[in-house]
Structure 1
């Protein structure tokens, strides 16, 4: 299949954070235009504000009013608002949060309408964006509701590991009561399907972590492993999901056991995020698995302490773009293979023969 050139949309995030800076830096790479067509949902004046503070490289863009007529040889900017915005890097401001919501809403509508193939979301500040319209703890629950998904998975991806979480942004004291067998199985089903469709792994193996220290030491330290997690793993395996565990989280990561699996399911946010951000090679990407659309995000926040200084690292944003492009292409390939399974089988057989250096008469 000829590789498609996806249209990748970007929300601007909190304008007083590093969002626009890292987006501008990431899309300034001219080589990026050979694999995708970027479009930033923001305002050209705000982009120019941050463009001035970025010394390296040239950044030019085209202002577009119609998403059907994009410039495929340049970065596109879609003005979501026209009024001037008083940007104050590093300052928390609910008025600024309003524009983060406008950008996200406009970009998400474009994603739902098929006007872009994937969305890369820049970091929002959870306090400044809060409003009657946006009453969520982050992008993931908003997207879950917007796309009417029964369940989704916060899936952190890097070159050497993938880590998902059962519970996301909730207080630690609520974690145990938020776990049950069905929720864990639901997450495992989504992870398996994503690994197959989005990452091309035919028979993915998924490790499941325990909740308590030492995975409860056979019930000596809590009983969630025995009453919830083990039954969930058993049920998942009955559904042909290759799930294993529960493993004690500390030793699992310390001894590199994650290298033996295609993904890891942690029970709560920090149990998965701390080792992921400590051990992931390069910069990680936050991918929302389980949706009919593709959304990725850098694995960092608004970084208010360095906003506006021109020093924010755009590597994670760049990796978010690469992963979005790869998943869009994998999904197109998957649908093409489903439509023509005989062709897929023939190509696989010929590929195997070529690998074995067998000459056909």
Structure 2
């Protein structure tokens, strides 16, 4: 349990040629945000100074050598490197990818050592981060390796929560990748996260079908009949409130999603297109199922507006608030489950 000081919130900067630094700095340009947590940015004084100047941001920051030196009430910057890499706003450069990895690795190391309580990651470019020692399609896969647990890409915005059975794989590989084992694992991870991270005691989960109209009883593909339906029935029989498969084309438009605590989509675009349509600017990408808490905004590097001062920090700010909320919910969950008698509030007779 955390007892002293504010929540230590680490920030990896992503691609510095995108809008990552901008949305992070704009978030904490509002001094009221420093009441909620102590931000610790993993970059360098030189880089943050240049971004601050280029974007004409009215902020001050505290340069430190490691996260343990962070000061509450200030924006802290860990000097992960001393050199000054070249900023080229709006361009996907090799250096942009190289330093995005440096920032991420340093932040994750601090998170693993408990120097941080939570991590918020700014957007990376999935192409220029590829290197001999970094061959991951994105943050989620890297974090799944570094942090214990079964990871789930979980998009959240208020009561709208959408997880993915498969995330960054080609559409042609989706059907083959979905197995009963994968369904059991992802549903279990989602159910546990809903209870522990979001405080929902008896979560209801909906699964979306793989094929159009969930296969129309096998007429349009057999995966829904042979894989999804038996797995859903078995989970339900075991006590998990999981339903489906639902036809994805009408599920959100008909407002059916509002009857569930979370939705598990079969593949990336099936889940993220409706999610971002309904919540863009307020959505958060949360990696559920890990021993540590990581969130990120629901947008990418936005090269087209990088360096212009036009980026909207709303989603990054929501990622900060979500990380803090999940951290507190987990603390409460752990406390209650260590002390089960606290769950019962018995009213004594006067």
Query: Aligned pair count?
Result: 349
Please tell me whether the aligned partners of residues 160 and 280 of structure 1 are also in contact (alpha carbons under 8 angstroms). no
Secondary structure (helix, strand or coil) at the match of 1:41 reads: strand
1:73, distance to aligned residue in structure 2 (A): 1.2
1:221 aligns with 2:220: yes
Q: 1:162 maps to what in 2?
A: 161
Residue aligning to 1:11: 12
Does structure 1 residue 180 correspond to structure 2 residue 188? no
State whether structure 2 residue 127 is matched by structure 1 residue 127: yes
- Report if aligned partners of 2:194, 2:200 keep a CA contact under 8 Å in 1: yes
1:205 and 2:204 matched: yes
1:101 and 2:78 matched: no
The 1-side partners of 2:238 and 2:29 are apart by 46
CA offset digits 1:207-266 (Å, max 9, x no partner)? 000011111111111111110000111121133211000000011111011000000000
Question: Shift of the alpha carbon at 1:281?
Answer: 6.9
2:251 corresponds to: 252
Rounded Cα–Cα distance in structure 1 between residues aligned with 2:261 and 2:49: 42
Q: What CA RMSD, in Å, does the superposition of the two structures yield over aligned residues?
A: 1.6
What are the superposed Cα offsets for residues 253-299 of structure 1, whole Å, 9 maximum, x if unpaired? 11011000000000000000000000127510000001000000001
Task: Work out whether residues 195 and 204 of structure 1, in 8 Å CA contact, stay in contact via their aligned partners in 2.
Answer: yes
Aligned match of 1:356 = none
Structure 1 counterpart of 2:294: 295
TM-score, normalization by structure 2: 0.96
Conserved? CA contact 2:293–2:323, under 8 Å: yes
TM-score scaled by length of structure 1? 0.93
SS of 1:183 mapped into structure 2: helix
Is 1:313 the equivalent of 2:298? no
SS in 2 for 1:125: coil
Query: In structure 2, how many angstroms separate the alpha carbons of the residues matched to 1:334 and 1:55?
Result: 42
Helix, strand or coil at the partner of 1:211: coil
Q: How far off is 1:126 after superposition?
A: 0.9
The reply to whether residue 23 of structure 1 matches residue 24 of structure 2 is yes
The answer to whether the aligner puts 1:39 opposite 2:40 as a matched pair is yes
Q: Partner of 2:68: helix, strand, or coil?
A: coil
Separation in 2 of the partners of 1:245 and 1:47? 48
Q: Is the 8 A contact 1:100 1:129 kept in 2?
A: yes
In 1, the alpha carbon distance for the partners of 2:235 and 2:105 equals 36
SS at match of 2:155: strand
**Residues 140 and 288, structure 1, Cα contact 8 Å, conserved in 2:** yes
Greater CA deviation, 278-287 or 10-19?
Answer: 278-287
Secondary structure at the aligned position of 1:289 is classed as strand
d(CA) in 1 for partners of 2:252 and 2:37? 35
Separation in 2 of the partners of 1:15 and 1:134? 18
Residue aligned with 2:282, SS: coil
CA distance in structure 2 between the aligned counterparts of 1:116 and 1:166, rounded to whole angstroms: 29
Tell me the alpha carbon deviations over residues 294-335 of structure 1, each in whole angstroms, 9 at most, x when there is no partner. 000001111111111100111000000000000111111111
Match of 1:139 in 2: 139
Whether the aligned pair in 1 keeps the contact of 2:168 and 2:268 (CA below 8 Å) is yes
Segments of structure 2 that go 5 or more residues without pairing to the other structure are none
